[in-house]
Amino acid sequence: MDAEPTCKACGFSYVIGLKEDEERHARFHDEEEYGPMSYMNDGIYIVSLENTQPLRHMAEQAFRVGNREAQYDFALFMADEKSTNQPIAAIETIGGHAIAGVLTRNRSCEYRTSLEEFELCALGGRWRPKRGEAIEPHNRRAIEFIWVHKKYRGEKVLDGCLAKLTEHIGHPISEFSHSLPFTEAAVKFWRKRSLGSIYIAQSWTEHLGDAQDAHLEACVRLLSER
């Protein structure tokens, strides 16, 4: 068998002739080019744990690829998860590939913060609110993750997913919270919607890695300062 070559395009090392390796590598390129396979007709689908497997599987694949770009080391959505926080996602598929997804979950919400009050945090390289207003703790649907395939970024793709999602959930975008941590894209997303302030959801309960966990701790400390 040949020595391990590296694909110059993507930097992958794999064994030529080893079917599994070749398939994994081909799938990677296919996903980079078109998005993960969706096995669904073109359209925007609302996906929850009540749906049948093809839809939940599509959502898992979309967020797996989104996650690869965001580099979080836990699964954002699992087709067979038994979650108690009621995940609901909107996934758009084009040409048999998922190209965008918005993931929401019910999360505890204790703060509201101005969109002018965000800064880049040295810990974890994410954005954070500098201060927040404590509000009565309650559960609220949080936007947890947004992914758009790089070929479609800047187009109006997200608007379709959001329209479908707000219609399904029954309240406008301003009534959602956003889960910590914030990427720069997330802050821009909310600012673009001309909202003065937004609800902040309690951070993900999953362990995000040391740098991200330190970042989240710093966020909560800032938010709860009086």
Tell me the closest approach of the beta carbon of residue 45 to Zn ion, in angstroms: 30
Per DSSP (E only), the strands in 78-213 are 88-94, 97-114, 118-120, 127-129, 133-148, 177-179, 197-201
Q: What are φ and ψ of residue 53, in 5° steps?
A: -55, -45
Question: Alpha-carbon distance 6 to 13, whole Å?
Answer: 4
Q: Which of 4, 6, 7, 137 binds Zn ion (CB under 5 A)?
A: 7
Select from 7-15, 36-44, 65-73, 92-100 the region that touches Zn ion (CB under 5 A). Answer: 7-15
Residues 105-144 that bind Zn ion (CB under 5 A): none
List, in sequence order, every residue forming a beta bridge with 133; answer none if it has no partner: 112
9 contacts Zn ion (rule: CB under 5 A):
yes
Contact 90, 162 (CB under 8 A): yes
Quote the least distance from Cβ 5 to Zn ion, whole Å: 10
The closest residue (CB) to Zn ion is: 7
The minimum distance between CB 44 and Zn ion, in angstroms, equals 30
Minimum distance, C-beta of residue 63 to Zn ion, in the bound complex (Å) = 22
Residue whose C-alpha is closest to residue 51's, from 88, 3, 95: 88
Q: Which is nearer to Zn ion, 19 or 226 (CB)?
A: 19
Please choose, out of 8-16, 57-65, 130-138, 168-176, the segment that lies near Zn ion by the rule CB under 5 A: 8-16
Q: How many other CB atoms are there within 10 angstroms of residue 210's CB atom?
A: 10
Q: Which residues here bind Zn ion, judged by CB under 5 A? A: 7, 9-10, 12
